[in-house]
Amino acid sequence: MKLIIATIKPFKLEEVREALTAVGVRGMMVTEIKGFGTQSGHTEVYRGAEYAVNFVPKVKLEIAVASSMADQVVETIQKAANTGKIGDGKIFVLDLQSAVRVRTGETNEDAL
Amino acid sequence: MKLIIATIKPFKLEEVREALTAVGVRGMMVTEIKGFGTQSGHTEVYRGAEYAVNFVPKVKLEIAVASSMADQVVETIQKAANTGKIGDGKIFVLDLQSAVRVRTGETNEDAL
Amino acid sequence: MKLIIATIKPFKLEEVREALTAVGVRGMMVTEIKGFGTQSGHTEVYRGAEYAVNFVPKVKLEIAVASSMADQVVETIQKAANTGKIGDGKIFVLDLQSAVRVRTGETNEDAL
Amino acid sequence: MTLRPWIAAAALAATVLPGMALAQDADVTPPMQDIGYIFTTFMFLVTGFLVFWMAAGFTMLEAGLVRQKNTTMQLMKNMGLFSFAAIMYYLVGYNLMYPGDGWTISGVLGAFGAASLEPVGLADTETDLTYASVGSDFFFQLMFCATTASIVSGALAERIRLWPFFIFVILLTALIYPIQASWKWGGGFLANEDAAGFMMSTFGTIFQDFAGSTVVHSVGGWAALAGALILGPRLGKYARGGKITPFPGANLPLATLGTFILWLGWFGFNGGSQLYMDTAGNVADISRIFANTNTAAAGGAVAALILTQFLYKKPDLTMVLNGALAGLVSITAEPLTPSLGAATLIGAVGGVIVVLTVPMLDRMRIDDVVGAIPVHLFAGIWGTLAVPLTNDAASFPAQIFSILVVGIFVFAISAVIWTILKAMMGIRVGEEAEMNGLDMTELGMEAYPEFSQS
Amino acid sequence: MTLRPWIAAAALAATVLPGMALAQDADVTPPMQDIGYIFTTFMFLVTGFLVFWMAAGFTMLEAGLVRQKNTTMQLMKNMGLFSFAAIMYYLVGYNLMYPGDGWTISGVLGAFGAASLEPVGLADTETDLTYASVGSDFFFQLMFCATTASIVSGALAERIRLWPFFIFVILLTALIYPIQASWKWGGGFLANEDAAGFMMSTFGTIFQDFAGSTVVHSVGGWAALAGALILGPRLGKYARGGKITPFPGANLPLATLGTFILWLGWFGFNGGSQLYMDTAGNVADISRIFANTNTAAAGGAVAALILTQFLYKKPDLTMVLNGALAGLVSITAEPLTPSLGAATLIGAVGGVIVVLTVPMLDRMRIDDVVGAIPVHLFAGIWGTLAVPLTNDAASFPAQIFSILVVGIFVFAISAVIWTILKAMMGIRVGEEAEMNGLDMTELGMEAYPEFSQS
Amino acid sequence: MTLRPWIAAAALAATVLPGMALAQDADVTPPMQDIGYIFTTFMFLVTGFLVFWMAAGFTMLEAGLVRQKNTTMQLMKNMGLFSFAAIMYYLVGYNLMYPGDGWTISGVLGAFGAASLEPVGLADTETDLTYASVGSDFFFQLMFCATTASIVSGALAERIRLWPFFIFVILLTALIYPIQASWKWGGGFLANEDAAGFMMSTFGTIFQDFAGSTVVHSVGGWAALAGALILGPRLGKYARGGKITPFPGANLPLATLGTFILWLGWFGFNGGSQLYMDTAGNVADISRIFANTNTAAAGGAVAALILTQFLYKKPDLTMVLNGALAGLVSITAEPLTPSLGAATLIGAVGGVIVVLTVPMLDRMRIDDVVGAIPVHLFAGIWGTLAVPLTNDAASFPAQIFSILVVGIFVFAISAVIWTILKAMMGIRVGEEAEMNGLDMTELGMEAYPEFSQS
Ligand SMILES: Nc1ncnc2c1ncn2[C@@H]1O[C@H](COP(=O)(O)OP(=O)(O)O)[C@@H](O)[C@H]1O
Ligand SMILES: Nc1ncnc2c1ncn2[C@@H]1O[C@H](COP(=O)(O)OP(=O)(O)O)[C@@H](O)[C@H]1O
Ligand SMILES: Nc1ncnc2c1ncn2[C@@H]1O[C@H](COP(=O)(O)OP(=O)(O)O)[C@@H](O)[C@H]1O
């Protein structure tokens, strides 16, 4: 199994979620994060003092999938989250050793 | 070492934490997340318009443990977080290559 | 590639970020978390009732880097985040199998 | 009003072109006998809107002291309770409380029937001009009734179901509050100044409660206490072994705002209870009341601040807020006769009472989310007992007797109602609903949907 | 004022050392003919500051009902609109609305010129003492003008650009509102009581709108409706296939606070519109108005509470808030003549209207963020139509005619202005700006920068 | 009050059964000589509660402009400072400020002793009925004293320790404020109209400060400035190399609410300072003041809005809020004599001053968290200097002299107190405490415990 970690623009969340459901992803964890990258924020003025906003609000998805599905999931996210503009985000894939469903104790792919 | 990632129902956090302390876990990271899964939310009405709440509030735990402890920790979480109802959550285990304690620079199992 | 997960004291975030930029890190994901560890919180009184605050606010960084850079990044974080006091945090290194840049579809080290 | 345009225009013209001003016409000024009536009536309208404002104060205080997940529910209960109180007091309460000569049981049970106001323009009526308009009196008194209901909602927060709560509010504002209030303020047996009456013949004085430490605040407190006992504490609040888990309020700026709103409203609450502003003496008395009310609140806040600093090493803001309110409740039974110094001390004792009794209730496992029972019931009793200290027309026996009579009546009848409601429809949400918060389970609406929780 | 120290000192001395008290001097008391003037003027100041307070109410209501990311913008628009309204009403609006004898077109278009007040101390002027000071009248009327602008801002939230909005507000408060208000309240053709005038000869009655269900609230509503239509709905609000995506308000305690503030302010809004407090009859009427205003709000809230409970199984707090406001708008056209019972029912119908029309607008894909159009326009029309039910001086035809005349004028001219603004400078932020929120893109300032979002 | 029940009942009966109405009794209306006293006293109560409300305004403004982690502390300081001010002004301040004939040093240092009010019902006293009740005067004046203390708390937020702050507040409200206020408003040397007195013989006019641009606002500002200098800036605010790090306010809706509250309260602040409402002339003057106060705030807000739009391309809400307040402070020294146009401009200049001086203070590395020094000190000086522009009884030299005398006195004595406090007990929290926020380290209580931070 793989754990896919993706960071995307917040307003793309719904679209990505729908696309993933369509390819059979049945669950994920979603976290609000602050992203730091090339799209490095912008300058604002507060009460006459300039300052740089270095972080950009992003959403992070964590999805455990069977290894066989991993490529398709990555591709799906990449397509759905794409706007072509800087700051679209990244997708990371890690190896997942085991998984357990708390409710039933089922393990590994049965747990997803 | 292993990195154990678990997502549980928020109101189980205290119980799980106590159970983990009992088996010798000395630290963890806790994040509020929105979970998406079979327990797929519910329908609400806001000002006369129906809408689906797809995400359910969950808590995510990340725990680094010595490999020898991993199974026990997974089992402990599974038991403590269990309510038998849909949405109890998942436990994932990843391989952890190294760990460092910032304060002392100690590494690996000494750092936990 | 490696995925480096670090948890640090919130007020060290800016310092760590600057140190990482200096060694060439170009991106990261930042999450507010609650940390649980040896620095196990403190006791407060609310309306006459004592209670323990078990969690301490922390910041979690997730940074994907080329394997060659991993050690330097870990070291940089360890130095910049260090205050020598309990609760400075941990740095974990995981193996990262692949990475994709959403915008361009570039993969692996090109995506970082 | 249809006269508006021309008169406004005339006024403007009069200024711009002074030559055009109308000749002074003696008939336009109020007839002499109207003046006192206008003063007192307008005073009721102003103090009445201040007391209305207290409804917002309770709402903010409670919304700030509950947890995020129960906030919408608390807002809903407060909007609803005020609205129900307004309607019930009109339909039933007002005449039950002020029956005039129409007592159903003399001095004990007032008249039944909806309130009605004077005709428009006082047309075709010979109005008694020595007091104030019925409309203003109704408006002012209604707000007191609603206040009583507000007190209950805070204590029972975070676990009670919506409709059983509203049903209780309806009975409280239609019947319980007005009936007991008639005993004192409606001229009932607690206020009967006849030497042969029960109070005078037994105690030598009647019951004295200027603005309602007992009649309003302790009544709300008794009803809340009965409810809290029957409803039980929030899940997880009291663990085995006496461990108490605090559930810190989610939004202290709101709670502080609520306290300031209540403090402001209290000037109307106590000041308007002078009931007359038709002479220099009356308006000077209202001034005394404003000054005393303010200083009692300050005394309560400072006492709580210093005491929590000593007891817990760190002062506790929520106790300071409660302390100010306790100071206000304490001075409510007699805001007129104390000197500024006495008023400050009376308020300070109220603040001390709150700091000591909030944890006491917790030890008794009576779960009062916002401190309503210490603030309104305990400080209300203290304030009522303090009246004889500065007012010779009051006596301790008469005060104690009246506190007991009112307390037993309200507590008993409230307990019966809560018990019936519990048996018939259940008054408490389910365990899982309580865990997940009443906002989503009962109302399907979060108070802060976009703010993430930690 | 320079006289302060000595007099204050004297007053103190008088008390401390009563023997020192000055002899009573008959000249000090107000001359008889001043008394009514003082009463009415002070009444305007008090009710005027209550109506001012409504500006804060709208601000909190709207800040609570928009999403986090558009909150600073909503605050900015409300601070700005009140300030622009204050200045424009002074420069243009007041004399346009109250031209006295100076109509530019008789009964239709008032006078041009900035407002000016009486000289200090009414020096060197023969003042008409039968009404109130121009200063107090100006202060009071200004607040009504600002209210109209506040109504617009809520409906168009979360997508409109700042300056086009302000330009509209400037035109609304300088011209649109005052011109139509002059027709009724400035003594224009809708208020002309001459038997030969248009209204009397056609309908037998003039237009009756006591405090502005039509003149203020529906005017704001029409302007908002024109804006909402031309501006279009928020991105993502209405998907293909009729799916409606709700965007829940980010901070319901603020929205509830705003509602309570508005409710409080409304006592001034309706009460002050009695325009006189110089006799027992007038002050008793103001009392009636306060009581009726309160009960109508309660009726609206309870109606919305019960109706949403039945329709959706869970009562909807935002509808209850809107329901209370709709009750207030409904009673505004005639808060004096109804009995308490009639007022409660009139308000309740307002509450029902809101619950039914909020989803109706959504089905029509007219995106009104806070429910301003149902509350102010629809309930405003209902309130205006309800006048003849309790007031014989009103007739349905005259009311309907006036609603239409005012509605067509305001809607048409607003639509023209919005269209011109759209063509000339664009009235809507870009797509990405709207997605990311107006706070960062338009103002570079988050309302809650440290609170994380979920 | 014990008379309540029967009279209320009678009033009701009178309406319901008009035949029962009591015969009109001439003795009931106020005696002629009471009328002016009632008017002025009631005016003080109403304007006084409005000024009280400003305490809530400062609290919300400051709670909105500090960071999350220091919010509870700011709430605590504001509740505490008002309470301490109330008690100290009663114990010491009032008689120090209004010594009447009891000056300790003539015209410079007033009387020592606690305030005392008239007896209940003005019994057994010959009261001077030409002014107002002492109770109302005390109530009104107390609020001004508390306002001065509120100003200080905002500037020093996010780093000052609780008790040293309270000690300063106690000294400020017991001594510093009352002593300098006595010079002008207590009839001291700045207000001495004797031709032979210092002011008249030197400048030909006395010092004119209607409602306290200098006496209240700049005094708060000077005390805050001394504190800010001695306390030093917040950690991380000013980096080497002149880089300024803004710490955006955590909750802008609260800050906006605070501004609206202050704006509302200011009608009482300036209006009540007319000190009399016993004639048509006086009530018309109060009306002028209300209208001018409002338009000056609008002018300040609009000026800040437009100026920040030009300077920074995006208008800055916090500056607009400060601008409105600066407009209010600017008009406070003379809200009566300016025309509406002049008042608008005076306010607008205040708004400009704030926009220009907020960054100036930052460049000077004086860290004023909420802009209290620009708003209250700089705009206060401007307002005081602007008096001679519209009031012939004022002169620039007298104004400048008085600004300097008051400024030097307050700044010097404040600096001494802050320095002593710093040496004796330390006025600043430790570095780690400041980093982690004062809420947890000083009070152990978060303002928003469940909201996660980003
Ligand atoms: N086993 C663990 N797994 C994951 N995170 C941990 C673990 N132990 C500690 N942490 C994180 O590191 C933080 C600091 O740890 P702590 O034990 O308090 O101090 P120190 O690292 O100085 O010994 C904790 O707050 C928690 O966020
Ligand atoms: N494939 C997945 N990857 C990551 N997290 C998941 C995945 N599936 C479910 N989850 C997490 O587990 C939670 C519970 O899953 P759900 O399917 O609702 O219930 P259950 O585990 O009882 O079958 C979800 O809310 C989500 O946070
Ligand atoms: N090395 C990295 N490790 C982890 N997350 C990263 C890394 N680089 C970028 N990110 C995440 O991806 C987001 C987008 O990256 P950015 O460089 O701004 O744009 P792009 O992916 O289009 O080049 C960042 O906001 C951050 O959340």
Helix ranges (H only) for chain A are 13-22, 67-81
Contacts of A6 (CB under 8 A, 6+ apart): A16, A60, A61, A63, A77, A81, A89, A90, A91, A92, C102
Q: Does F341 touch chain E (CB under 8 A)?
A: yes
Tell me the chain A residues in contact with residue C105 when contact means C-beta distances shorter than 8 Å: 78
Which residues pair with residue C34 across a beta bridge? B30, C57
What is the DSSP-derived secondary structure letter of residue F11?
H
The atom of ligand 2 lying closest to the CA of A62 is: 4
pLDDT band at F17, cuts 50/70/90? Answer: very low
Between CA D165 and CA D422 the distance in angstroms is 11
| Residue D15, pLDDT above cutoff 90 | no
Across the range E235-240, mean pLDDT stands at 90
Cα of B76 vs centre of ligand 1, distance in Å, is 19
* For B78, nearest residue in chain A (alpha carbons): A102
Between CA F136 and CA F264 the distance in angstroms is 20
* pLDDT for position E19: 31
F423 Ramachandran zone, left/alpha/beta (phi>0; psi -120 to 50): alpha
Contacts of D310 (CB under 8 A, 6+ apart): none
Q: Please name the amino acid found at residue F226.
A: A
Contacts of E51 (CB under 8 A, 6+ apart): E140, E143, E144, E147, E265, E268, E269, E272
b/e string for E172-190 if b means 16 or more Cβ within 10 A?
A: bbbbbbbbbbbbbbbbbbb
| Residue E6, pLDDT above cutoff 90 | no
* pLDDT for position A44: 83
What percent of chain D has pLDDT above 90?
Answer: 88
Between CA E328 and CA E379 the distance in angstroms is 9
Q: Does F331 touch chain E (CB under 8 A)?
A: no
* Joined tokens for residue F154: 């905002």
Between CA F34 and CA F131 the distance in angstroms is 10
* pLDDT, greater one: A48 or F227: F227
Low-confidence ranges of chain C (pLDDT < 70): 41
Across the range D169-190, mean pLDDT stands at 97
Phi, psi at F109, each rounded to 5°: -130, 120
Closest listed residue to residue E210, CA positions, set E109, E328, E298: E328
**Do C96 and A91 count as a contact with CB atoms less than 8 A apart?**
no
Side-chain half-sphere CA neighbours of F158 within 13 A = 26
Across the range F237-255, mean pLDDT stands at 92
Between CA C3 and CA B96 the distance in angstroms is 10
* pLDDT for position F26: 43
- The 3-class SS string of E349-361 reads HHHHHHHHHHHHH
* Joined tokens for residue D418: 């809560």
Tell me how crowded residue E425 is: count the other CB atoms within 10 A of its CB: 11
**Do D123 and E281 count as a contact with CB atoms less than 8 A apart?**
yes
Tokens 């997803």 found at: A112
Tell me the chain D residues in contact with residue E116 when contact means C-beta distances shorter than 8 Å: 15-16
| Residue D369, pLDDT above cutoff 60 | yes
Tell me the chain F residues in contact with residue E22 when contact means C-beta distances shorter than 8 Å: 128, 130
Which residues pair with residue B43 across a beta bridge? B52
pLDDT band at F454, cuts 50/70/90? Answer: low
* Joined tokens for residue D227: 């409810």
- Going by CA atoms, what residue is nearest to atom 26 of ligand 2? B35
* pLDDT for position C45: 87
* Burial label, E1 (beta-carbon count in 10 A; 0-12, 13-18, 19+): middle
**Do F280 and E127 count as a contact with CB atoms less than 8 A apart?**
yes
Q: Is C78 in the pocket of ligand 1 (CB under 6 A)?
A: no
Q: What is the pLDDT of residues E432-444, one digit of tens each?
A: 899 889 999 999 9
Considering the entire predicted model, what is its pTM?
A: 0.94
* pLDDT for position E27: 54
Q: Is A61 in the pocket of ligand 3 (CB under 6 A)?
A: no
Helix ranges (H only) for D156-241 are 162-171, 177-184, 198-203, 219-231
- Going by CA atoms, what residue is nearest to atom 19 of ligand 2? B87
Strand, coil or helix: B95: strand
| Residue A23, pLDDT above cutoff 60 | yes
What percent of chain F has pLDDT above 70?
Answer: 93
pLDDT band at E454, cuts 50/70/90? Answer: low
Across the range F241-270, mean pLDDT stands at 96
Between CA A21 and CA A28 the distance in angstroms is 10
Between CA D15 and CA D9 the distance in angstroms is 10
* pLDDT for position F327: 98
Contacts of F419 (CB under 8 A, 6+ apart): F230
* For F140, nearest residue in chain D (alpha carbons): D291
Q: Is C61 in the pocket of ligand 1 (CB under 6 A)?
A: no
CA angle A93, A94, A99 (to 5 degrees): 120
D371 Ramachandran zone, left/alpha/beta (phi>0; psi -120 to 50): left
Across the range E270-289, mean pLDDT stands at 97
Contact F336, F292 (CB under 8 A): yes
Residues present in chain E in total: 454
- Going by CA atoms, what residue is nearest to atom 20 of ligand 2? B87
Tokens 């805070």 found at: D154
The atom of ligand 2 lying closest to the CA of A102 is: 21
The H-or-E segment that residue F61 falls in is helix F32-65
Shortest Cα distance, chain A CAs vs residue E435, angstroms: 7
Tell me the chain F residues in contact with residue C32 when contact means C-beta distances shorter than 8 Å: 452-454
Contact F382, F350 (CB under 8 A): yes
Contact D67, D247 (CB under 8 A): yes
F255 Ramachandran zone, left/alpha/beta (phi>0; psi -120 to 50): alpha
Closest by Cβ to E444, choosing from A10, A32, A44:
A44
| Residue E23, pLDDT above cutoff 60 | no
Provide the sign of the torsion angle of the four alpha carbons E265, E270, E274, E278, taken in this order.
Answer: negative
Between CA F157 and CA F448 the distance in angstroms is 18
Strand, coil or helix: F46: helix
Across the range E201-218, mean pLDDT stands at 97
Closest listed residue to residue F193, CA positions, set D106, E4, E270, A84: E4
Between CA E189 and CA E193 the distance in angstroms is 9
**Ligand in nearest proximity to the CA of C31:** 3
* pLDDT for position F375: 98
What percent of chain F has pLDDT above 90?
Answer: 88
Contacts of E251 (CB under 8 A, 6+ apart): D447, D448, E63, E64, E68, E71, F253
**Do C32 and F452 count as a contact with CB atoms less than 8 A apart?**
yes
Number of H helices, E strands in chain D: 18, 0
pLDDT band at D298, cuts 50/70/90? Answer: very high
The H-or-E segment that residue E141 falls in is helix E134-155
Q: Is A92 in the pocket of ligand 3 (CB under 6 A)?
A: no
**Ligand in nearest proximity to the CA of B104:** 1
Name the residue of B5, B7, B42, B78 whose CB sits within 8 Å of the most ligand 2 atoms, as the mutation to test its pocket. Answer: B7
Between CA D212 and CA E202 the distance in angstroms is 56
Name the residue of A7, A9, A42, A85 whose CB sits within 8 Å of the most ligand 3 atoms, as the mutation to test its pocket. Answer: A7
Contact B46, D445 (CB under 8 A): yes
Tokens 């209901």 found at: D149
* Joined tokens for residue A83: 């706007």
* Joined tokens for residue F407: 């400024």
Tell me the chain C residues in contact with residue B103 when contact means C-beta distances shorter than 8 Å: 82-89
**Do E246 and B49 count as a contact with CB atoms less than 8 A apart?**
yes
What is the DSSP-derived secondary structure letter of residue F121?
G
Q: Is B35 in the pocket of ligand 2 (CB under 6 A)?
A: yes
* pLDDT, greater one: B47 or D104: D104
b/e string for B23-58 if b means 16 or more Cβ within 10 A?
A: eebebbbbbbbbbbbebbbeebbbbbbebebbbbbb
Q: What is the pLDDT of residues E316-364, one digit of tens each?
A: 999 999 999 999 999 999 999 999 999 999 999 999 999 999 999 999 9
| Residue A74, pLDDT above cutoff 50 | yes
